[in-house]
Chains A and B, each alone.
Chain A
Amino acid sequence: MWRVMVPDRLDTLPRHRRALIAAIDWTRLADPEARRLRELGFDEGVGVEVLHRASIGGGPIACRIGRMTVALRRAVAASIHVAPLAG
């Protein structure tokens, strides 16, 4: 049995599911957004975890990166591809 590996995106990652950033689609982001994201430490291979979602329909999400909690909008989170860690 086999299945296609569809990488999850940060905006759809279930809460409290640890994951590694697989790739960031920088082209989908506006320049200042991309830079801020880098400045906050988002990078391939870094661990992330979604902690909170502001509201059911489309509010920002709060995620843990390193020892920091960072708030970002879902549209931005959607350009961050993640690979969930086992367990």
Chain B
Amino acid sequence: MHAAPLVALVGNPNAGKSALFNALTGARQKVGNYPGVTVERHSGRMVLDDGRPIELVDLPGAYSLDPSSPDERVTRDVVTGRGGFERLPDALVVVVDAANLDNHLRFTLQLIALGVPVIVALNMIDLAERDGLVLDPAVLERELGVPVVSTVAVRRRGLDELRAKLSPLLGGHPVPAVDRVEENIVVLQRRARTIAAAATVSETPARRWAHWLDAVALHPVVGPLLLVAILFVMFQAVFSWAATPADMIDVAFGGLEGWVRETAPDGFWRSLVTDGLIAGVGAVIVFLPQILILFLFILVLEASGYMVRAAFLMDRLMATVGLSGRAFIPLLSSFACAVPGIMATRTIEDEKDRLTTILIAPLMTCSARWPVYTLIIGAMIPNIQVLPFVRLQGLVMFGLLVMGVAGAYVAALLLRRTVTKGASSGFMMEMPKYQWPRWQDIGIGLWTRAMIFLKRAGTIIAATTVVLWLLLSFPKPPPGSNISPVDYSIAGRIGNGIETVVAPIGFNRDIALALLPAMAAREVAVSAIGTVYAIDDAEGESGTRAISDRLRGRWSLPTALAFLMWFVFAPQCISTIAVTRRETNGWKWPAFMVGYLFVAAYVMAGATYWLAVAVGL
């Protein structure tokens, strides 16, 4: 006997399942507007009025019991008690969008036919009313033969009634799933329409202002310009808004380091903590503000309903490489981080299409690259004004971003003609209603992102930094010898080995040393370079500023440019490789991804180096 009855939230994408889930459980979950934002299992606890606890799961959105994407399959299997994802739920809360009954009731009818107890949450009743639609829940209840409760998930309205009506459904004896379900969608659809019409008391044509908004956002000329403007503001904001908080974090870590230096006795441990841990982790945490600003934009674009409009505008362009506008959404998320981006590809129905998107997602300039780009550009590229409002450093940064996108474009083009060949997939999407993003949801989303980032900095990045520091510190050269401590260390010897491979593309030993730990995460390259120089030159001060000074002395401009180009392509991120393995069920595709990206990185970095040398930079 299981401790608590299992209740599943089911419904079409964007019906408000996740919002209702959050309202009922108080659990934290990202709430987005993109159909199928729910791509992982989310479960939480809620308590009925009689004190009975219930386990609630938020299932991925689906249109029918006939799955066409991996997340729809999960939903089908759970509600029919198949697949072993989950025990058969004791009851289903079917969430429907009140303004979209025609469509959502079809799936509801299928679910009711399964035989598991069902309660319908007639959600978004506020938006329906806003748009002049009046419904009669009593008629619905009669026609469907199951309890119906009007809810506004985001305002927590109707929750008490929902809990009260859910309670008697949980009788304690699990119901076996019925295998015979009406398969013919058209028949179901007609019944759904009849019921929806019967339940509609009055109706006025849909909202004018939303049409007006779309007339601008989807306009053939104005729409794309608006999208470019939004993206421009987004990237601009990432760099300008983040400057002040980033400086504050830098100062705080500097202070911490100074304090440890003063209080702890000189020696192995102090050096490990200051040069290794604080410098390494600090160099990465400085980028938290930028990452949060980027995610803020992405979350707002999703929650407002604009993201799908952007996909609509991008479809034409994506089609030229055999993808669809749908792929634009995961790719845009990949600018923040490829991991959530790759997970978001689960809503792409076409397998080849999805695979291609996964394979090119790491080429988007994820936030882990910024520490690397910022450091190298800041140190090596003069910040001269090249055009009004445009400085050279910013231009190079933008160039790298464009390079990633162009690389992805070419890669998609080639992949779709070779390894992921297939008929071009279609583009068919429901456009969610516009609405103001709810700041609580955005806040929760940002908080989740910040925690993931800090955890990464505190674990993977801290660990690799410390290990590198140890490998760089031992063995110590014999006293009196004039070999540098780095050359004599284990890491130095490994670095010299790697150097022979990367020397042809202009990389020096320090870079070779930084590349290895940066396999764990790109940002580590920054702290790794810092550690190499801190150990090599023990008297000097440390910190980002000091790293820049040392870089200027030791790197040529062609080397720096080649290094930047390397990072545009190189798949240096364990988390991305791991998530690709998980999402493609095996090592084949992650291995392919790592292989093709390393080859691209090597070739492009080499080409950059030799071109730069040739033009005399």
Contacts and interface: CB of A to CB of B under 8 A. Distances in A.
A3 interface: no
Contact of A70 (B66, B325, B429): B429
Secondary structure at the B interface, as helix, strand, loop or mixed, is helix
A32 B348 CA distance: 12
Interface string B168-192: 0000000000000000011001100
Given A41-B189, A67-B133, A73 B426 contact: yes
B411 interface: no
B215 A52 contact: yes
B428 A70 contact: yes
B185 A38 contact: yes
Contact of A60 (B64, B68, B106, B316): B316
Contact of A66 (B100, B224, B308): B100
A51 interface: yes
The size class of the interface chain B forms with chain A is: 35 or more
Contacts of B423: 30
Interface string A63-76: 01011111111011
A62 B488 CA distance: 66
B350 A32 contact: yes
Interface string B424-436: 0011111100000
Contacts, number: 114
Contacts of A62: 214, 218, 312, 431
A87 to B, nearest CB: 14
Interface in B357-377: none
B132 to A, nearest CB: 10
A19 to B, nearest CB: 16
A54 B223 contact: yes
Interface string B195-229: 00000000000100001001100111001100000
B315 A59 contact: yes
A76 B103 contact: no
A67 B349 CA distance: 24
B186 A40 contact: no
Main SS of chain A's interface residues?
A: mixed
Contact of A36 (B68, B218, B311, B312): B68
A37 interface: yes
**Residue of A35, A58, A71, A72 with most chain B CB atoms under a 10 A cut-off:** A71
A71 B428 contact: yes
A45 B152 CA distance: 32
A1 interface: no
Contacts of A43: 186, 189-190
Given A30-B423, A54-B218, A67-B133, A40 B428 contact: yes
B131 interface: yes
Given A40-B428, A64-B206, A35 B68 contact: yes
B102 interface: yes
B100 A68 contact: yes
Contacts of A36: 63, 68, 349, 426, 428
Interface of A: 30, 32-33, 35-41, 43, 46, 51-60, 62, 64, 66-73, 75-76
- Pairs A-B, 10 closest by C-beta atoms: A39-B63, A59-B316, A52-B218, A69-B431, A66-B102, A38-B185, A55-B220, A72-B428, A71-B312, A71-B429
